[in-house]
Structure 1
């Protein structure tokens, strides 16, 4: 038992969720009950937007969960209060749009400018918005130029098939320098979020709000967008599939066999 854990955070895709995007709901309910008794809050820290979380965790939205979504761009308390939010300015959106226009390899699996419930999709990519993707947004809006978007955009997500994304990373950093942060999503895509935004930043905002030191936080992750978070907490746990480098605890049970939930039971 790790007595000093006061907050537990987990990534979703590749970590908490099975590969088919489901999870052991009976075990999760049991774990949440045990955490409640010990007064340990549970937070979802993910690259995806809130509406997608709401669909995936539909049966647990009244269970006192907190959320760090959009790779740290938005933080909600268990009471639903937004305590932190960073959006991409209109000027940066124009630069991102131009970068994608100029980049020789187009994101053939999709391009979305998103809020927490609305997908803004460039007209030329409207065909990539499949029914499966659409179910994770309340609204889909097609546009021709980013100047038409009036809502605050939290992230831009793009996805290629059979393409080395590091080439886009390099182009984005060369073009936009410190104006953005480019990271993976955990779902096989790439996100552009505001500069200085990552899961560690969002999680610390929540921990500070709760009066909890990051040394007393346990976090679970598997991908590159979890690295800052795992490096910032006192109890970092990585999944068997992770290739992250750092002083992390490696758990042996994978995401398809409730590795996160079983490890939580062990450490509390």
Structure 2
């Protein structure tokens, strides 16, 4: 018998279909049933708040919790920021030095992100296409990180056909334990503040709600979900992922509303139904 009090889901490759859509009618049904049982719902993602609000525009007043930027920000349904961890300015300078020296350069883009603004090095401006930056309110070009005036929650870079382990090794050597490097779930790599991950964000929420992580269910599919999946009591993994471990299966993949259908199954078969 389950005692789930909070359900969290990753977005890309998990909650969202490959075309970045989801079954809105089914989501509404799920949220109504969760509300009736006083079970919270969390979007736990590597992306920033502005992108989430565009994707979930019809559900901004549905009482959702948010763990964004791979755990760097935690936001309550009323908009209160429960946790906020930006990359220190001195570390941003070291990240810039690392990327400047690293080869090959990110050939698909480099972005220093706030919750709604993309800061992009001028040397990467040719990659700042409308399609890639449509989820940011503002795009600001810069020559040096000293010009950045807003807190940066993550630095995202992307390559085609790249061995991620090379950047992990270089970042560890150059930055040590000052940052956490993780995949985004969308084929890119994020550098976030040290000690930040989705599990940390969920722990903030659990403490705020007076529950334990053992009472949390989470859905994920990628490397940036590992900490979250290994810390919660009910870890669900999407099919056809590279992750392995003692995880629970979902009833369908992300293109067939696997997360939402699994939640309904949980509600139907457990003590929370």
Count of residues in correspondence between the two structures: 267
**Number of the residue aligned with 1:103:** 102
**Take 2:245 and 2:161, find their aligned partners in 1: how far apart are those partners?**
29
Deviates more, 1:130-139 or 1:200-209: 130-139
**1:192 has 2:163 as partner:** no
How far the C-alpha of 1:243 sits from its partner, in A, is 1.9
**Number of the residue aligned with 2:112:** 113
| 1:127-142 paired onto structure 2 within 5 Å | 127-142=126-141
**Number of the residue aligned with 2:58:** 59
**Take 2:182 and 2:80, find their aligned partners in 1: how far apart are those partners?**
26
**Number of the residue aligned with 1:11:** 10
Secondary structure of the residue aligned to 1:4 is: coil
How far the C-alpha of 1:133 sits from its partner, in A, is 2.1
| 1:92-241 paired onto structure 2 within 5 Å | 92-241=91-240
**Take 2:91 and 2:108, find their aligned partners in 1: how far apart are those partners?**
23
**Take 1:153 and 1:120, find their aligned partners in 2: how far apart are those partners?**
9
Gaps spanning 5+ residues in structure 1: where? none
Secondary structure of the residue aligned to 2:196 is: coil
How far the C-alpha of 1:20 sits from its partner, in A, is 0.5
Gaps spanning 5+ residues in structure 2: where? 268-273
Does the 8 A contact of 2:251 with 2:262 survive in 1? no
RMSD (Å), alpha carbons: 0.8
**Take 1:262 and 1:108, find their aligned partners in 2: how far apart are those partners?**
38
How far the C-alpha of 1:3 sits from its partner, in A, is 3.6
Give the alignment's TM-score, normalised by structure 1.
0.98
Secondary structure of the residue aligned to 1:236 is: strand
Runs of 4+ that moved beyond 4 A: none
